[in-house]
Chains A and B, each alone.
Chain A
């Protein structure tokens, strides 16, 4: 008890030194948490672009649909299916119908991919509606509207207000054809949508294809994208495996998943470097502060304190420091990371790659703060500080009083 009190009092006997050490630890911890959150955020942002501009996190199809995208490999009773998906509480779901088609406007024509969506449900899954270059998104309830992909719109020289003819093979074998009005065009999102995307009301497309209410896909946005594997499993258990195939974006787009895995690995290294640099600052300050106290330790020994008590005393001081730093650094790191999570970090000033016209990219970096990040950072800080203190502790215990006082001068 006296040792505790003594340690605490000792700390504040030289407040400047303590504050500097504390600041060093706090700052290091803050940067670790922020760095951690930013690298998580970057991966999430990549996943975000991979998923929320078209695919969603998880998709449900007829087991054969992805094999040759035949319009006949569809799923009946979408209402029940959507209800089954949303009742798991994992996220929101949007039904889709697809078909390939010939799209033409004036003398120009091009191959296109028709996306029949429900504008209300779709906006709860993807963010396509927020990435328009011109015009407006589909109006819920309206008929005969389409939104075109960027390059397709250019090929057809079509913009908002123009009419396009869509020609496709309907489910009954007839030549489905209809006239639609362009309500908007998308920004550059990805090759597939850019070159051929024709987004329209699901009812319009079903009518064109002479289909009842069958759908080809349910796209799901998870509330927690980090629980991807678990959510995929839960969903496939919730649905009849004979009739539905549930796959997440990593299974659907293995290239992308691999790409991100690569990024994630290099991120680990970058994070390691940030931690190392931050630790370095802490170690240095801690070492210096302990070394500079040789004289002080000598005096304590001269006053009759045993070597073990001295070590205990210094250890307790360090523990106090760590605790304080964990609180201050933790709070600072969490606050900063949360700010970066919500407001983001505007990177448009960097120019370069961000200057491209029509890019769907939002020029903000967003952090993603997880409890794992905070815990890892604090644990690393504690381990680093204790390791850094090890050598000075041993020295302090071995020091001979006379020597220490003498050398201090």
Chain B
């Protein structure tokens, strides 16, 4: 968070209220607290890997929640302590290569995550640790842990369409965007909310806005659209195949498509998901990164 000093005060508040759109917000929920809740839901949904689990988690618990306020509190609690473990497959198609990998992923909140490649054999054991704003890679072949430097932040992560920076930035979404519901109603036979995230004026993000579509009933994400500053679509993320996983209903497939190369995509498929493992922050250390038993 050191890097944020530049933006100065006022940034610590995760939410900037917008006037004139209250009626829209109250559709989802009412009052300020609800607004916060709504906001967090959204940002978590656009987050790429880890927050995704949380979205799924409280999406499924929403039905049992009595009031929005209670949900919010619950979410906040989960937010702080939630840890997860998942096995996933990542398929990458680019004009130059196609690549399929199997990964194991651990996470704690949005701040900590750890990925290990288990397949293909060539890359088995290559691991990535994200702790706060830093990313480390462990390379078993040379037995070294290397911190990803600035120059590689915009490089892609494991050959996918996500950059290292995406991994870092997702944990900061709450600080960087203002959200509002811009559409609610039926689209393609489903009642959805469309929520638009607009970066705060000084937020260091490249997008002009992000539009997220969620199913009204389940609050399950459908897709996120990333626009550049001129309003041109830059990339699309699609959430698909909603299934029961880890005793919860979650979209098990995420597809990322860069708009300038529509024939390319990265597809992440969740094979398994476990929640509430009770992982602590010290699990997400460089020592764990080099543990040989991670891949087993």
**B-binding residues in A (CB < 8 A):** 72, 102, 104, 109-111, 165, 167, 169, 171-175, 177-179
Contact = CB atoms under 8 A, between A and B. Distances in A.
B108 to A, nearest CB: 24
Nearest to B151: A111
Interface stretch (B31-39, B91-99, B167-175, B231-239): B91-99
Nearest to A164: B142
A353 to B, nearest CB: 33
B145 to A, nearest CB: 10
A371 to B, nearest CB: 51
Contact of A178 (B95, B141, B152): B141
Interface stretch (B42-50, B61-69, B74-82, B153-161): B153-161
B146 A102 contact: yes
B126 interface: yes
A197 to B, nearest CB: 16
A377 to B, nearest CB: 54
Contact of A174 (B142, B146, B159): B159
Contacts of B148: 102
Interface in B93-114: 94-97, 99
Contacts of B142: 165, 177-179
Nearest to B93: A173
A222 B95 CA distance: 37
B166 interface: no
Contacts of B149: 102, 109-111
A165 B140 CA distance: 12
Interface centre among A72, A165, A167, A173 (most CB of B within 10 A): A173
B133 interface: no
B198 to A, nearest CB: 31
A172 B96 CA distance: 8
A44 to B, nearest CB: 37
A177 B139 contact: yes
Contact of A167 (B94, B123, B146, B158): B146
A87 B100 CA distance: 43
B137 A173 contact: no
Contacts of A110: 149
A163 to B, nearest CB: 9
B82 to A, nearest CB: 29
5 contacts: A72-B96, A167-B139, A173-B96, A173-B159, A177-B139
A177 B141 CA distance: 7
A173 B158 contact: yes
A171 B146 contact: no
Interface string B117-146: 000001100100000000001010110101
A172 B159 contact: yes
A354 B126 CA distance: 49
Contacts of A167: 137, 139, 146
Contacts of A165: 139, 142, 144, 146
B96 A175 contact: no
B147 interface: yes
B137 A174 contact: no
Nearest to B94: A173
Q: Which 3 pairs across A and B sit closest by C-beta, in order of nearness?
A: A173-B159, A173-B99, A177-B139
Given A102-B146, A111-B149, A167-B137, A174 B122 contact: yes
A109 B123 contact: no
B147 A109 contact: yes
A178 B137 CA distance: 14
Contacts of B146: 102, 104, 109, 165, 167
Contacts of A177: 139, 141-142, 144
A169 B95 CA distance: 15
A179 B144 CA distance: 10
Nearest to B120: A174
A110 to B, nearest CB: 8
Given A173-B96, A175-B139, A177-B139, 8 more contacts: A72-B96, A111-B149, A167-B137, A171-B97, A172-B159, A173-B92, A173-B158, A173-B159
A72 B147 CA distance: 26
A72 B159 CA distance: 14
A167 B144 CA distance: 10
A111 B152 CA distance: 9
A167 B142 CA distance: 10
A227 to B, nearest CB: 38
Contacts of B160: 173
Contacts of A102: 146, 148-149, 151-152
A173 B265 CA distance: 13
Contacts of A111: 149, 151-152
A175 B137 CA distance: 10
A174 B144 contact: no
A178 B126 CA distance: 13
A110 B150 CA distance: 10
Interface centre among B99, B142, B147, B149 (most CB of A within 10 A): B142
A111 to B, nearest CB: 4
B96 A174 contact: no
B144 A104 contact: yes
A172 B148 CA distance: 20
Contacts of B123: 174-175
Interface centre among B96, B126, B156 (most CB of A within 10 A): B96
Nearest to B155: A169
B96 to A, nearest CB: 5
B104 to A, nearest CB: 16
A172 B126 CA distance: 15
A229 B117 CA distance: 52
Given A72-B96, A102-B151, A169-B156, A175 B144 contact: no
Contact of B96 (A104, A109, A171, A178): A171
A169 B141 CA distance: 15
Nearest to A72: B96
A179 B148 CA distance: 17
Contacts of B92: 173
A179 B143 CA distance: 9
Contacts of B97: 171-173
Contacts of B96: 72, 171, 173
Contacts of A174: 99, 122-123, 126, 158-159
B146 to A, nearest CB: 6
A167 B122 CA distance: 15
Contacts of B137: 167, 175
Interface string B222-263: 000000000000000000000000000000000000000000
